[in-house]
Amino acid sequence: MTPFGARLSEAMDTHGPLCAGIDPHAGLLQAWGLADDVDGLATFASRCVEAFAGTVACVKPQSAFFERFGSAGVAVLEKTLADLREAGTLAILDVKRGDIGSTMGGYAQAYLGESSPLRADAITVSPYLGYGSLRPALDLAAEQGRGVFVLALTSNPEGASVQHASRAGEGGKESVAGSVVAGVTADNVAAAAEGRLGSVGMVVGATIGSAVSDLGLDLAAANAPLLAPGVGAQGATAEDLRAVFGAALPAVLASSSRDVLSAGPDVAALRERARTVADGVRAMVAS
C-alpha cells in the first residue's frame, strides 16, 4: 500500500491543505435542526460525507461525539469511515489514544488494523506516557500504510504546562515537546531519504505564537505532516502560520470544524464553504 504520507501529500496538492472536521456535538445538531440522538447523528454525518468526499484533502471525525451515543453511535462512526473509504477520501480519526504495551496494541488494532470496521487512514495519539509507548500504533500504521498524528504543541491554555516542561538529558535540557519532535523525526527518516512526506505527523496549534522558536524546535526537519487546528473560527492568520511553522509551512494541514460546519445543514453550502476555506489556506501557506 502507498504510505499514508504520500497519499496525503497528493490529496493536499489536489484539493488544498484542509482537513474538514465532523464534530456532531449537541449544539451543532440543534443548529442544523436535528435531534440530539442517533438519528440526528446519522443524518449529520451523512451530509458531511456527501459534502466533503472528493472536495477536501481529508476528513476528521471526532470520535467522542459518536461515542457519547454508545454502541449505536459507534456504528454510525463505522459507517461514516466506510463511506469515506468508498468515496476515496482520506479519514483521520480523532481519538487521541495513548497507553502502554498490549493495551496500546489493542487501540492500534481497533483503529489501524485492516480487519477493523473502525479503521481509518490515520489517527491522533497522545504521547504523554512517553513517545516509546506509541510504538504498537506506529509500527502497525507503517505496516498497513496508515498514519498517526502525535500531539506535540496544542493551543489549549493547559497544554504548555506539560509540553513546554523540560528535563536535563545527555545533550542538555530537552522539552517534552522536543522529545516528541525528536521521536517523529526519527520515525520519518526513511521517508525523508526517499523524498516523500513522512507518515508520522504532529498536531501543532496554529495559534501557539512563538512556542516553536522559544523551545528551539525544528519542525521542518521532522518531515512530518502538521495537523494545525486554529485556522478559521479560531482566527489564525497567514502571519500566525509563518510565525509558528516557518520553513515547515508546506507540510501544514489546516484543521477546520466550526468554520466549515457553520455553513450546514445544506450539503451544497457545506461543500462550497469547504472549498473556500481550502483555497484560503492554500493562499496563506503559499504567502
Q: Which residues are catalytic?
A: 96
- Whose grid coordinates read 500504533? 137
Q: Residue 19: which H helix or E strand, with range?
A: strand 18-22
- Cα distances (Å, whole numbers) of residue 110 to 29, 83, 84, 101: 27, 18, 17, 14
Look at residues 65, 58, 61 and name the one whose alpha carbon lies nearest to residue 37.
65
CA distance 138 to 200: 8
CA distance 97 to 139: 15
User: Residue 35, Cβ neighbours under 10 Å: how many?
Assistant: 11
